[in-house]
């Protein structure tokens, strides 16, 4: 069975509890539950993880090699700063979708730069929690076509 790792980075554990005007009222647990349900309908499996620590995120990416077929990564603010995360994605050679709840291109200019984008197969941003569902659909289509 196709297996996807969904990895969320710093502060995303606070979703639904703080700044709902920016990031909405949906919690990370809600997102993970809807991803699990949608993955089941697609006939794929998902594993979800979140960390506020850059090194732990890199460890999850390394561990995905051999156990998962693809990654959905919302690296949070590390998107805009982390060459280490870029190198980790590059090294595992797994198709990775860069995901953001907000439209990073419509926000502050420092959010326009992504170190993940050059090593991702694509970027989904601006669709809120539904972006994760779009990412699962995109991966299901891509992996079944191979
Ligand atoms: O839009 C996204 O998904 C982001 O990855 C979210 C990051 C931000 O730094 C990126 O530029 C875009 C921030 C996540 C912070 O999450 C919070 C959730 C609730 C309350 C406070 C922060």
Average pLDDT of the chain is 96
Query: pLDDT tens across 104-120, in order?
Result: 999 999 999 999 999 99
What does the pLDDT read at residue 146?
61
What percentage of the chain has pLDDT greater than the value 90? 92
Task: Please give the distance, rounded to the nearest whole angstrom, from the Cα atom of residue 141 to the centre of ligand 1.
Answer: 27
Would you state the structure tokens that stand for residue 69, as one six-digit string? 């077929």
Q: Average the pLDDT over 13-25 and give the result.
A: 91
22 vs 146, more confident: 22
Count of structural domains within the chain: 1
- Alpha helices in the chain, H assignment, sequence order: 20-23, 28-42, 54-64, 83-92, 130-144
Q: 59 is in which domain, residue-wise?
A: 2-145
The pTM score is: 0.97
Pocket test for ligand 1, best of 21, 101, 123, 124 (most atoms within 8 A of CB): 101
- How many C-beta atoms surround the C-beta of residue 8 within 10 A? 25
Task: Please give the distance, rounded to the nearest whole angstrom, from the Cα atom of residue 1 to the centre of ligand 1.
Answer: 31
What does the pLDDT read at residue 95?
98
């Amino acid at each position: 069975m196709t297996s996807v790792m969904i990895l969320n980075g710093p502060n995303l554990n606070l979703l639904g509890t703080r700044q709902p005007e920016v990031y909405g009222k949906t919690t990370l647990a809600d997102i993970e539950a809807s991803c699990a349900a949608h993955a089941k309908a697609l006939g794929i499996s998902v594993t979800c993880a979140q960390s506020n620590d850059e090194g732990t995120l890199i460890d999850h990416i390394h561990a995905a090699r051999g156990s998962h077929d693809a990654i959905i990564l919302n690296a949070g603010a590390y998107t805009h700063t982390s060459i280490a995360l870029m190198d980790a994605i590059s090294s595992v050679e797994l198709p990775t979708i860069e995901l953001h709840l907000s439209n990073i291109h419509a926000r502050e200019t420092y959010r326009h730069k992504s170190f993940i984008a050059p090593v991702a197969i694509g970027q989904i941003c601006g669709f809120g929690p539904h972006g994760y569902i779009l990412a699962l659909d995109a991966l299901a289509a891509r992996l079944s076509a191979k």
